[in-house]
Structure 1
Amino acid sequence: MAALEPPAAAPTGADRPNLVLALACVGTILATLDLFVVSVALPSIGRAFPDASLSDLSWILNSYAIVYAALLVFMGRLAERFRRDRSYLSGIALFTLGSAGCALSVNVPMILSFRVVEAIGAALMTPTSLGLVLAAFEPSRRSGAARLWSAIGGFAGAFGPVIGGVLLIFGWQWVFLVNVPIGLVAIVIGMRVLPAIPGQDVPWPDLIGALLATAGVALWIFGLITAGTQGWTATGAWSGMAAGLVLLVIFALHCLRAKRPLIEPALFRNRTFTAATLGLLPFMIAFGAFLVSRVTWEQTAWGWSPFRTGLILAPGRFLVPLTSMFVAGRLIERIGAPAVICMGLATFALSQAITALGYGLTPSIAASLSAAVLSGIGVGLALPTLMGTGAGALPAAYFSTGSAVLNMIRQVGMAMGIALLVAIAGQPAATETALSAFHMAWLLIAACALVGMLPVLGIARRRPEQPLAG
Structure 2
Amino acid sequence: MTATLVGSAFLTGIDLFIVNVAFDDIARDLGNASTTLSQLSWILNAYAVVFAALLIPMGRMGDRYGNRLVFILGLSLFTLSSAACAAAGSVWMLVAFRGVQAVGAAAMTPTSLGLLLASLPAAQRRPAARAWAMTGALAASVGPALGGGLVSLSWRWAFLINVPVGILMLVAALRYVPDVRHDKSTPRPDLLGAALLTACIAALVLAIVQSTDWGWVSSGVITALVVALVLGGAFAWRTARHASPMIDTRLFATRSFTSAAATTLVFNLGFAGSLLALILWMQEVWHWSALTTGLGVALGPLLVPITSLLAHRIAPTMRPAIMICTGCIVCAAGAALTAVSLRAGGNYWIGVLPGWLLGGIGVGLAMPNLVAAGTAELPPAATSTGGGVISMARQVGMAFGIAVLVTIIANKVPRDALPTALLVVAGMHVAAALVATLMLRPNRQPVAAPSTPQLSA
| TM norm structure 2 | 0.84
Residues 210 and 105 of structure 1, relative CA distance in 2, 3 Å threshold: closer
CA positional deviation for 1:176: 1.2
Are the equivalent residues in 1 in contact too, given 2:148–2:292 (CA < 8 A)? no
Residue 427 of structure 2: aligned partner: 447
Once the two structures are superposed, the pairs formed by residues 161-180 of structure 1 within 5 Å of their partners are: 161-180=144-163
Residue 376 of structure 1: aligned partner: 360
Cα separation, 1, equivalents of 2:148 and 2:244: 47
Once the two structures are superposed, the pairs formed by residues 105-144 of structure 1 within 5 Å of their partners are: 105=88, 110-132=93-115
CA positional deviation for 1:283: 0.2
Q: Could you tell me the percent identity over the aligned residues?
A: 39
Residues 64 and 338 of structure 1, relative CA distance in 2, 3 Å threshold: closer
Residue 407 (structure 2) aligned to one of 423, 434, 437: 423
> Secondary structure at 1:450's aligned position in 2?
helix
Cα separation, 2, equivalents of 1:315 and 1:46: 26
How much is the aligned-residue C-alpha RMSD, in angstroms?
3.3
The amino acid across from 1:445 in the alignment is: V
Cα separation, 2, equivalents of 1:302 and 1:38: 19
Residue 310 (structure 1) aligned to one of 269, 294, 315: 294
Residue 409 of structure 1: aligned partner: 393
Residue 211 (structure 1) aligned to one of 195, 209, 222: 195
1:220-251 deviation per Cα after TM superposition (whole angstroms, max 9, x unaligned): 22323333665544443343233213322332
Unaligned runs of 5+ in 2: none
Structure 1 stretches of 4+ moved >6 Å: 136-145, 463-467
Residue 83 of structure 1: aligned partner: 66
Are the equivalent residues in 1 in contact too, given 2:13–2:135 (CA < 8 A)? no
> Secondary structure at 2:152's aligned position in 1?
helix
Q: Report which stretch shifted further, 98-107 or 292-301.
A: 98-107
Are the equivalent residues in 2 in contact too, given 1:347–1:374 (CA < 8 A)? yes
Residue 75 of structure 2: aligned partner: 92
Are the equivalent residues in 2 in contact too, given 1:225–1:415 (CA < 8 A)? no
Residues 400 and 236 of structure 1, relative CA distance in 2, 3 Å threshold: farther
Residue 258 of structure 2: aligned partner: 274
Are the equivalent residues in 1 in contact too, given 2:210–2:407 (CA < 8 A)? no
Are the equivalent residues in 1 in contact too, given 2:11–2:162 (CA < 8 A)? yes
2:40 is the counterpart of 1:40: no
2:284 is the counterpart of 1:262: no
Once the two structures are superposed, the pairs formed by residues 11-410 of structure 1 within 5 Å of their partners are: 20=2, 22-49=3-30, 54=35, 59-105=42-88, 110-132=93-115, 149-200=132-183, 201-227=185-211, 230-324=214-308, 326-330=309-313, 333-360=316-343, 362-364=345-347, 365-390=349-374, 401-410=385-394
For this pair of structures, how many residues does the alignment match? 446
Cα separation, 2, equivalents of 1:354 and 1:144: 36
Q: Report which stretch shifted further, 214-223 or 179-188.
A: 214-223
Residues 405 and 64 of structure 1, relative CA distance in 2, 3 Å threshold: same
The amino acid across from 1:389 in the alignment is: A
Cα separation, 1, equivalents of 2:420 and 2:363: 21
Residues 395 and 102 of structure 1, relative CA distance in 2, 3 Å threshold: farther
Cα separation, 1, equivalents of 2:312 and 2:119: 19
> Secondary structure at 2:186's aligned position in 1?
coil
Residues 344 and 143 of structure 1, relative CA distance in 2, 3 Å threshold: farther
1:262-317 deviation per Cα after TM superposition (whole angstroms, max 9, x unaligned): 32222323333322211101101111111111221233223444433333333212
Unaligned runs of 5+ in 1: 1-18
Residues 240 and 350 of structure 1, relative CA distance in 2, 3 Å threshold: same
Q: Report which stretch shifted further, 171-180 or 123-132.
A: 123-132
Cα separation, 2, equivalents of 1:36 and 1:167: 13
Are the equivalent residues in 1 in contact too, given 2:345–2:351 (CA < 8 A)? no
> Secondary structure at 1:462's aligned position in 2?
coil
CA positional deviation for 1:351: 0.6
